[in-house]
Amino acid sequence: MRRLGPGEGVVGILLALAAISPFVLPSQAWIGFAVNAVLISVLSIAWNVTGGFCGQMSFGHAALYGTGAYAAAMLQLRLGLNPYLAGIVGIAAGAAMGGFIGALAFRYGLRGSYFALVTLAFAEVLRILASSFEITGAGSGLTLPFRPGLANLQFPDRYAAYVFVLILCILALAVSAAVKGSRLGSNMVAVRENEEAAGAIGIDAFRVKVVAMIISGAIAGAAGVAYLQIQLFIDAPIAYGSLISVEALLGPIIGGAGTLLGPVVGTVVLHIVGEVVKTGVGGAPGLNLVFYGIVLLLILRFLPNGLMGLAGNLRWPARTASAARSAEAR
């Protein structure tokens, strides 16, 4: 296993400090920000499985996120299902939607921008459908009754909600790490680097990509379920809106697509800088999307491997000098 460099170690420490900061700095505004940032981090981890590990760029991860949220909401409101069972079904629904989109797109050999546009189209179609039928709340959305308590998977305050999303984020990272370190993860990287070469050595690229979408869909569905249980409300613009899809992909790209902690690092940095910008120039409509676009262009231009790529390039001075002396001795 590769040893962590000093930059990566510092990143890990900073993330740990950020995770406990809401308990050290008690503030309703800060805890609300932390809940949102960690929740979007889970969605970014989901995107990273498909876009980072496997190289299949999705512009419509809201389709997976929203499907998980809507499935859980409808099962609780329409059928009176226990929220835990509804949540499990919501996660399964996200996985199924990911598998369906992946199987359909990859069966026809779609990749690159074509695959990205297909995922975007699915998210938009689902948004329109969710806005049109009474079972999904049409234009009014779905609201869960407020019944705080573990039995209903509802939280009496933001601190309890933060603990919930933090645990979910750790679980998502554990799943991501397991995938990355497995044979499946190696096959994903092979497909990402050269799909034709991967096929030539016996890797079933179609199966690998579909499985990546299923895993990604399950994690995204879990994020959607978490949003529902925290906010007790979901509607089509929130569940399937373009902003969710944009935030899902920006975190990994900024932090470092294909790395384990990159999605979390990128999402946290993006949200912190976004809040600073919002405080400085106000919250004009559409300003966040303009800001996201500028950040994306800057990262792609100056840090193509993301912040984790920059951190990974740092080395301990003593170790660097020792390596140089060893090279000279040879």
The 10s digit of each residue's pLDDT in 224-279 is 999 999 999 999 999 999 999 999 999 999 999 999 999 999 999 888 888 877 77
Residue with tokens 């978490």: 226
pLDDT at residue number 8: 57
Query: Which is more confident, 277 or 78?
Result: 78
* Mean confidence (pLDDT) of the chain: 88
Helix, strand, coil % in the chain, rounded to nearest 5? 80, 0, 20
Query: What is the average pLDDT across 28-43?
Result: 91
> Dihedral through CA 279, CA 309, CA 32, CA 93, nearest 10?
130
* pLDDT tier for residue 327 given thresholds of 50, 70 and 90: very low
Q: Are 62 and 123 in contact (CB under 8 A)?
A: yes
- Mean pLDDT, to the nearest integer, of 7-28? 72
pLDDT bracket for residue 283 (50, 70, 90): low
Which token pair is 74?
A: 């409808």
CA distances from 240 to 66, 121, 236 (A): 5, 11, 6
Which residues have a Cβ under 8 Å from the Cβ of 273 and sit 6 or more positions away?
Answer: 291, 295
Q: What is the mean pLDDT of residues 147-169?
A: 93
Reading the block at residue 181, the tokens are 């370190």
Element (H, E) at 143: strand 142-143
pTM (two decimals): 0.90
Predicted pLDDT of residue 220: 98
Statement: residue 319 has pLDDT above 90: no
Residue 263 and residue 256: Cα distance in Å, rounded? Answer: 7
Look at 246 and 18; give whichever has higher pLDDT: 246
- Residues 6 or more apart whose CB falls under 8 angstroms from that of 275 comprise 33
Note whether 68 and 91 are within 8 A (CB).
yes
Whether the pLDDT of residue 20 is over 90: the answer is no
Predicted pLDDT at 295: 79
Residue 294 has pLDDT above 90, yes or no: no
Mean pLDDT confidence for 187-212: 97
Domains, the chain, ordered by start: 33-308 (1.10.3470)
Residue 184: its pLDDT value, please?
A: 97
Span 131-135, average pLDDT = 94
Sign of torsion, CA 249 253 257 260? Answer: negative
> Residue 233: enclosing H or E segment and its boundaries?
strand 233-234
The span from the CA of 105 to the CA of 206, in Å, is 10
Span 201-218, pLDDT tens digits:
999 999 999 999 999 999
